[in-house]
A = this chain, B = another copy of it.
Amino acid sequence: MPVSILDCAHFYYFYKMKQGILTVLAIGLAYSSPAQDSLMFRKISNEIMLHSTCYENLRVLCKTVGHRISGSPAAAKAVTWGEKAMKAAGAEKVWLQAADVPYWYRGKESLYLKTGKEYKKVDALSLGNSEGTCGKLLEAPIIMVHNFDEFKALPESAVKGKIVFFNYRFRQDFIFTFEGYGDAVKYRGGSPSAAAAKGAVGVIIRSMSTGTDDFPHTGGTHYVDSIKKIPAMALGNTTSDMLEQACQKGKVMAKLTSECHMMPDAVHSYNVIGEIKGTETPERIITIGGHLDSWDVGEGAHDDGAGCVQSIEVIRAFKAMGLKPKCTIRAVLFMNEENGQKGGQAYADSAMAHHENHVIAIETDAGGFTPRGIGLVMSQAQKDKITSYKNLFLPYGVYDFSREEGGSDIDPIGKKLKVPLAGLVPDSQRYFDLHHTNNDVFERVNHRELNLGAVVMAQFIYLVSEQGLD
């Protein structure tokens, strides 16, 4: 039986029993019908915490599709999975939106280091988008630097013919680890061309990793067009520590082989979109999305299977509860976030071409961890309106509305159509232990944390749909 959004008196006792009436009292001044919204927040939470399909959907995506880099057969399989999952969630309309994507292919790769008498194989991953050695052996001495300043101070003669080891350590003193990532990631993106410009023949980097382990982290690098594209690999922290010590002691040699390359042609691919039509203002669209592609390691569980299943769960919860939102709600599984954002661009282009009216676009792409906040990229007045509801979110652990975080996939629609953006901000402590590694698998995701993220997204969407942003 459908339940209207405001028909929730029968939840009052249930709610009171569990949460006390503090929330209801606390929001008195901020909001016109705080008790009803607080009850609906509770109802959404109960629906998802008790009946969520997030965890099972993620298991199927991770274990039957696995990792799924853009353009790969696995990515195509993920599209089929997404379409099916979206229909199973009860979306009223499900469609595929075309996006041509690049296809970077890893192939075989190996790295051997000689720190003493013999070469030993180490765990390493070529950086995404990088060019390999065409399967040929590249042997060269290693020169270590700790940062770009040290590198710039080196004469060309010291670099020429060498493999440069950029040994920049992810700073553990940042509490919000995305700040540490922002600080360190320039070595992944910029070191190959910087090194090649001085005649280096290859690059090795210490991974962008908070981990105490040895998982190497891949992720996209970017070549400057006019500079030779040299191979680039990442090491985990333990091997980086070993290499650091070896470089301090004496000469270290490397033997590197890799087949990775960007395929010459783009591949036809798709965003997967599911929709619930709004009842009062169906032309007004709220987008919630994650990205369906991943790097070609692990299972893309946190990055970003979690965001996909949470977006699907919003649709499922609204339909299961019989909620009839004023605005149209669209869940979008974007393709090609990791190395091209072609899905996000296609979504924005289509919205422009069809003169769509977008209220807000929301992304969840920071891991399936317990939520702490919602990032807001919008006018101050719109931020103020949202933060006036903050006491509604507090019982769900969400208190931080201070970050300007949206998401890569919704950036194009934000820029091209001036759509306000928002992004789920989960706890960030574990993300960069796992990000872009073979360890980003289903088993690293906690069912309750994953569900809570979906709860907060559904509550936020309910609120924006009912109250608007302006």
Contact = CB atoms under 8 A, between A and B. Distances in A.
Given A175-B452, A212-B55, A446 B427 contact: no
Contacts of A45: 173, 175
Contacts of A173: 18, 45-46, 49-50
A324 interface: no
Contact of A446 (B49, B429, B448): B429
Interface in A424-455: 427, 429-430, 433, 446-449, 452
A339 to B, nearest CB: 28
A399 interface: yes
B452 A430 contact: no
From A179, A427, A449, name the one whose CB has the most chain B CB atoms within 10 angstroms.
Answer: A427
Interface string A206-219: 00001010000000
Interface string A104-126: 00000000000000000000000
A394 to B, nearest CB: 8
A397 interface: yes
Given A175-B397, A370-B427, 8 more contacts: A18-B173, A45-B173, A45-B175, A49-B172, A397-B427, A429-B449, A429-B452, A433-B448
A448 B395 contact: no
Contacts of A18: 173-174, 179
Given A55-B212, A429-B448, A448-B430, A396 B175 contact: yes
A372 interface: yes
A210 B450 CA distance: 13
A395 B446 contact: no
8 contacts: A18-B173, A18-B174, A50-B172, A175-B397, A210-B448, A429-B452, A433-B446, A433-B448
A29 to B, nearest CB: 19
B396 A399 contact: no
Contacts of A49: 172-173, 175
Contacts of A172: 49-50, 448
A212 B430 contact: no
Contacts of A174: 18
A172 B448 CA distance: 8
A51 B18 CA distance: 41
**Copies held by the complex:** 2
Contacts of A396: 175
Q: Which 5 A-B pairs have the closest CB atoms?
A: A429-B448, A399-B399, A46-B173, A49-B173, A429-B449
Nearest to A450: B429
A429 B172 CA distance: 24
Interface in A192-217: 210, 212
A321 to B, nearest CB: 14
A421 B55 CA distance: 38
A52 to B, nearest CB: 9
B46 A429 contact: no
A433 to B, nearest CB: 7
Contacts of A429: 370, 446, 448-449, 452
A372 B396 CA distance: 12
Nearest to A430: B446
Nearest to A427: B370
Contacts of A452: 175, 429
A391 to B, nearest CB: 12
A432 B50 CA distance: 16
Contacts of A433: 446, 448
A102 to B, nearest CB: 34
Contacts of A212: 55, 447
Contacts of A372: 397
Nearest to A52: B172
A374 to B, nearest CB: 14
Contacts of A179: 18
Contacts of A399: 399
From A172, A433, A448, A449, name the one whose CB has the most chain B CB atoms within 10 angstroms.
Answer: A448
A60 to B, nearest CB: 14
A383 B18 CA distance: 24
Interface in A327-357: none
